[in-house]
Amino acid sequence: MEPDSIKRLLIIDDEENMRHMLSTLLKRSGYDVDEAADGMEGLTKVQDHRYDYILCDIRMPNMDGMAFLETAGTMLEETTVIMMSAYGSIDTVIEAMKLGAYDYISKPFKADEVALVLKKAEERESLRIENRQLRERIRSIEDEADFGAMVGKSRPMRSVFRIAEKVAPYDTTVLIVGDSGTGKELMARAIHDSGHRARGPLVPVNCGGIPESLMESELFGYRKGAFTGANSDKKGLFEAADGGTIFLDEIGELPVLLQVKLLRVLQENEVRPVGASVARKINVRVIAATARDLEKEVASGTFRQDLFYRLNVMSLTLPVLRDRMEDLPLLCRHFLVQLSRQLEKPLSGVSPSAMSLLLGHGWPGNVRELRNVLERAAVLTETPVIEPAHLPASLARSGVASPRADFLAGDSLKLARAALEKAMITRVLEKNDGNRTRSARMLEISHPSLLSKIRQYGIRG
């Protein structure tokens, strides 16, 4: 055995000759062997060391093998125990198994019998390790498939989830970028709920939904008499979020004058209500979101560069649904579970033909649009399964000519893979304005492979 794979074994037997014989045999086979003269000494050994295997006699003075098994209990959870006895009965064997023993060997035995039992035990241990690793891997994949109320197992979403999980425990300012309907507020809520501020409030603010004339007083509050109608002091949204998180959605809509005041809040951790002479300290984490390209806004002068840098400490970009289509079946299951509870009707899934149409749609409204489409279908269906007839006619038209619908049309896996590859390569080339080097990097294939596939599929551009 290699040094790092040497197995540790304990022999518990009151017969010194038996211990010596087994110890010599098993050391020769590569085991690291300890000995104990009875169950009591064996118990002391397992308290001090972890053993891979234990060979334990049943009849011994002071503490016999059965008492040893019962007393050691959970200390033997990771250990394979093999019982030995010249006086065993079926009842004794069964009782030993109930107490955690793996196998039983009758005395007297030949050397190859011991080797065979240990080999079986090693194979069983190897299978147990593989099963544990497989369960851990499955659990890891399941864990990666969601973050808060968001679901997704595609590479882009797993990457976003990993970053979000890392930033969530800290008070770092986060800027979430993504098209409308990609789930920016859900991501903000998931970050808030995963951090130490989870027990504090999460205050969402739609910066594009508040009239400019009211924006300052809404964000920072006001004092009595600050303006006509200010009949009493009022806390602003920042103060309402004290101890928690404020989510500034559509931050790109914030007027330039308010951008200056927001920057001061972020830098000083204090707000000055309208009409107040002094500022008040606040303890608020800021998460902002936008569908705009703020760098372009900075270049055009409509968004302050210093505020952009202050907000963009950690940036998360949520992909559009058409770039994470492998998540669509998972999203469908997720939403149908929600809708089944909401509508109080059984909803078990989406038929293959309906799924083909869903996969063929471009989803300009992203995940929000998918959710609305499924809600409409759930209301219309009289069966647990969503069929094409329950989907909007416009969706059916958009799905007919799409390569994503084509790849589910036949029964050939080879043709389906080719159709999907062609569709993905075409889309990525279009996204990169025909730049093949960038496209190869995005597709995670070599440049020669991309050129070969372009020729193979007759892709132009």
Q: Sorting pLDDT into bands at 50, 70 and 90, what band is 370?
A: very high
Choice among 250-264, 275-289, 399-413 with the minimum mean pLDDT: 399-413
Mean pLDDT computed over 110-120? 84
Residue-level pLDDT at 127:
75
Choice among 31-35, 111-115, 252-256, 263-267 with the minimum mean pLDDT: 111-115
Choice among 169-183, 257-271, 429-443 with the minimum mean pLDDT: 429-443
CATH at residue 450: 1.10.8.60
Choice among 4-18, 31-45, 187-201 with the minimum mean pLDDT: 4-18
User: Three-state SS string across 390-401, please?
Assistant: HCCHHHHHHHHC
Residue 399 has pLDDT above 50, yes or no: no
* In a shared domain, residues 98 and 240: no
Angle, helices 184-194 vs 155-167, to 10°: value is: 40
Structural domains of the chain, count? 3
Q: How far is CA 417 from the centre of its chain?
A: 27
Q: Are 443 and 425 in contact (CB under 8 A)?
A: yes
* In a shared domain, residues 438 and 370: yes
Beta strands in 199-318 (DSSP E): 202-206, 221-222, 234-235, 245-249, 270-271, 280-281, 285-290, 314-317
* In a shared domain, residues 214 and 104: no
One-letter amino acid identity for 24?
A: T
Residue-level pLDDT at 164:
93
Rounded to the nearest integer, the mean pLDDT of the chain is: 85
The tokens for 309 are 């840098």
User: H helices within 14-144, ranges in order?
Assistant: 16-28, 39-48, 65-72, 90-98, 111-144
* In a shared domain, residues 308 and 160: yes
* In a shared domain, residues 159 and 244: yes
Residue 410 has pLDDT above 70, yes or no: no
Among candidate residues 85, 109, 135, the one where a domain is terminated: 135
* In a shared domain, residues 111 and 155: no
Residue 290 counted as domain residue: yes
> Bigger pLDDT: 422 or 247?
247
Residue-range definition of the domain harbouring residue 108: 3-135
Residue 202 counted as domain residue: yes
* In a shared domain, residues 117 and 235: no
> Would strands 349-350 and 385-386 be described as parallel, antiparallel, or unpaired?
parallel
Among candidate residues 319, 353, 387, the one where a domain is terminated: 319
Residue-level pLDDT at 209:
87
Residue 214 has pLDDT above 60, yes or no: yes
pLDDT in tens, 434-453: 888 888 888 888 887 888 88
* In a shared domain, residues 129 and 277: no
Residue 35 has pLDDT above 90, yes or no: yes
Mean pLDDT computed over 269-278? 88
Nearest Cα neighbor of 403 from 421, 388, 428, 429 is: 421
Residue-level pLDDT at 263:
93
* In a shared domain, residues 211 and 343: no
Residue 298 has pLDDT above 90, yes or no: yes
* In a shared domain, residues 351 and 387: yes
Residue 205 has pLDDT above 60, yes or no: yes
Answer left, alpha or beta for residue 77, where phi above 0 means left and psi between -120 and 50 means alpha.
alpha
Mean pLDDT computed over 44-66? 89
Choice among 21-25, 212-216, 285-289 with the minimum mean pLDDT: 212-216
Q: Sorting pLDDT into bands at 50, 70 and 90, what band is 300?
A: very high
State what percent of residues in the chain have pLDDT above 90.
Answer: 41
Residue-level pLDDT at 401:
40
> Bigger pLDDT: 194 or 149?
194
Q: Sorting pLDDT into bands at 50, 70 and 90, what band is 291?
A: very high
Nearest Cα neighbor of 248 from 208, 288, 198 is: 288
CATH at residue 29: 3.40.50.2300
pLDDT in tens, 60-79: 888 988 899 888 888 887 78
Residue 141 counted as domain residue: no
* In a shared domain, residues 116 and 208: no
Mean pLDDT computed over 350-360? 86
Q: How far is CA 342 from the centre of its chain?
A: 25
pTM for this model (two decimals) = 0.58
Choice among 60-64, 105-109, 269-273, 399-403 with the minimum mean pLDDT: 399-403
Residue 143 has pLDDT above 80, yes or no: no
Residue-level pLDDT at 7:
86
pLDDT in tens, 181-195: 999 999 999 999 999
Beta strands in 218-271 (DSSP E): 221-222, 234-235, 245-249, 270-271
Backbone angles phi, psi at 316, to 5 degrees: -120, 125
The span from the CA of 14 to the CA of 25, in Å, is 18
Residue 145 counted as domain residue: no
* In a shared domain, residues 55 and 44: yes
